[in-house]
């Protein structure tokens, strides 16, 4: 029997099998309607999934894509608290993505790989089958040791070190270490860093903005919170800490090299907030070069989405406790050049 060939460098565009989104109507959803007006199915979905208006949801109702309490609906109707809704999204085409990567470390449980730019980590939004998780499941489904599953996320267009583990207990332990991530020492140095986790990223930013000499560092402590976005309802952005959901976030940026096209920086993060590096660099006036979403100030542009590419960001180095003791220090080849 022939040995299996190497994984494809690219996974071609292909249709998936669709997906079912399940929701339950809460009393708060009903109270949000005007006066005594009923809450219609189309209005519920338009508020819940803001990528489509009520007219589109009525078309989906007419196509039989939505069920209420197990019964297929063909027309709009009023909802009651506790109603269970299920929208079966028909199959859609997922774009081509990178399908190969290198393994940096593997001890039979812990599995660290060098994720390529352009590959989503987990199913979300427009991605279901063309994700790293699905590829790992297919590739390691017959492994006696189990399937390595991601412990954390990297943005679709962020490349570099991604930590996976086969044992659920290991994933839980590592996830806690990554969340703690030296929060008591925002600069990523000192006793907490020595005992916990230190994550170093490299990025290309808009040139000539940073008030730093090469080798100098700047701590960033801009909070990150959800703010209105016309396409998604809300989106993580730079915040001022005035709202209850705003989260403290700490990074340290070091200017490595200046260039005519871009400046090369290194960023150590001491918290794991969504889009933290993109937001923090933009918040200090030096957004990632080519970032379509976050401009100077760290707010999101209305016409862009988090999954839009164009920026260069690499998870370059990781220092991490090993669950069995000792300390791992891992790097990938530096892939960002001026």
Query: Is the pLDDT reported for residue 3 higher than 80?
Result: no
Query: Is the pLDDT reported for residue 272 higher than 90?
Result: no
Count of residues in the chain: 338
Residue 123 burial (C-beta neighbours within 10 Å; 0-12, 13-18, 19+): middle
67 pairs with which residues across the strands?
72, 86
Predicted pLDDT of residue 195: 54
Q: Residues 99-114: what's their mean pLDDT?
A: 96
Q: What does the H/E/C string look like for the chain?
A: CCCCCCCCCEECCEECCCEEEEEECCHHHHHCCCCCCCCEHHHHHHHHCCCCCHHHHHHHHHCCCEEECCEECCCCCECCCCCEEEEEECCCEECCEECCCEEEEECCCEEEEEECCCCCCCCECCECCCCHHHHHHHHHCCCCCCCCEECCCCCCCEEEEEEEECCHHHHHHHHHHHHHCCCCCCCCCCHHHHHCCEEEEEEEECCCCCCCCCCCEEEECCCEEEEEECCCEEEEEECCCCCCCCECCCEEEEEEECCCCCEEEEEEECCCCCCHHHHHHHHCCCCECCCCCECCCCCECCCCCCCCCCCCEEEEEEEEECCCCCEEEEECCCCCCC
Predicted pLDDT of residue 58: 97
Predicted pLDDT of residue 187: 43
pLDDT tens for 116-161 read 999 999 998 789 999 999 999 999 999 999 999 999 999 999 999 9
CA nearest neighbour of 46 among 57, 38, 35, 62 = 57
CA nearest neighbour of 274 among 101, 50, 124 = 124
pLDDT over 70, % of the chain: 92
Cβ atoms within 10 Å, residue 85 = 19
Q: How many CA atoms lie within 13 A of 31 on its CB side?
A: 3
Tokens of 209: 């903005």
CATH T-level topology, domain 198-338? Pseudouridine synthase (3.30.2350)
Band the pLDDT of 75: cuts 50, 70, 90.
Answer: very high
pLDDT tens for 158-208 read 999 999 999 999 999 998 887 765 444 444 444 344 456 888 999 999 999
Q: Residues 79-93: what's their mean pLDDT?
A: 97
Predicted pLDDT of residue 182: 44
Query: Is the pLDDT reported for residue 233 higher than 90?
Result: no
pLDDT over 90, % of the chain: 77
pLDDT tens for 253-266 read 999 999 999 999 99
Predicted pLDDT of residue 325: 85
- Report the CATH architecture of 19-90: Roll (3.10)
Q: Residues 280-301: what's their mean pLDDT?
A: 96
CA nearest neighbour of 29 among 15, 18, 13, 45 = 45
pTM of the model: 0.85
pLDDT tens for 11-65 read 999 999 999 999 999 999 998 887 778 999 999 999 998 889 999 999 999 999 9
**Fold matches, 1-13+93-180 and 19-90:** no
CA nearest neighbour of 111 among 139, 74, 77 = 139
Predicted pLDDT of residue 180: 64
Predicted pLDDT of residue 232: 83
Q: Residues 222-239: what's their mean pLDDT?
A: 92
Q: Provide the mean pLDDT of the chain.
A: 90
Domain layout of the chain by residue ranges: 1-13+93-180, 19-90, 198-338
Give the CATH superfamily of 1-13+93-180.
Answer: Pseudouridine synthase (3.30.2350.10)
């Amino acid at each position: 029997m022939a040995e299996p060939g190497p994984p494809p460098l690219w996974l071609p565009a292909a249709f998936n099998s669709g997906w079912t989104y399940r929701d339950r109507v809460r009393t708060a959803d009903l109270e949000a309607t005007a006066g005594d007006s009923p809450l219609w199915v189309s209005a519920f979905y338009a508020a819940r999934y803001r990528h489509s208006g009520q007219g589109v949801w009525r078309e989906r109702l007419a196509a039989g894509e939505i069920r209420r309490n197990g019964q297929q609906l063909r027309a709009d109707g009023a909802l009651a608290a506790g109603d269970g809704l299920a929208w079966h999204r028909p199959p859609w085409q997922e774009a081509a993505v990178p399908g190969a990567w290198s393994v940096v470390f593997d001890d039979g449980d812990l599995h660290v790989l060098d994720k390529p730019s352009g590959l989503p980590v987990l199913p979300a939004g427009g991605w279901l089958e063309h994700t790293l998780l699905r590829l790992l499941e297919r590739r390691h489904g017959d492994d006696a040791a189990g399937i390595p599953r991601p412990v954390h996320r990297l943005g679709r267009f962020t490349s570099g070190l991604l930590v996976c583990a086969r044992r659920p207990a290991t994933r839980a332990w590592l996830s806690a270490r990554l969340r703690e991530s030296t929060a008591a020492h925002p600069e990523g140095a000192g006793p907490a860093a020595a005992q916990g986790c230190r994550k170093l990223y490299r990025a290309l930013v808009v040139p000539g903005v940073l008030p730093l000499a090469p080798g100098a560092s700047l701590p960033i402590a801009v909070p990150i919170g959800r703010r209105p976005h016309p396409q998604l309802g809300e989106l993580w952005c730079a915040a001022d800490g005035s709202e209850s959901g705003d989260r403290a976030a700490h990074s340290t940026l070091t200017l490595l090299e200046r260039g005519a096209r871009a400046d090369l920086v290194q960023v150590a993060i001491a918290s794991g907030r969504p889009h933290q590096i993109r937001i923090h660099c933009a918040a200090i006036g030096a957004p990632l070069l080519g970032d379509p979403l976050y401009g100077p100030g760290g707010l999101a542009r209305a016409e862009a989405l988090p999954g839009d590419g164009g920026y260069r960001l690499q998870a370059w180095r990781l220092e991490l406790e090993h669950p069995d003791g000792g300390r791992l220090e891992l790097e990938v080849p530096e892939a960002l050049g001026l």
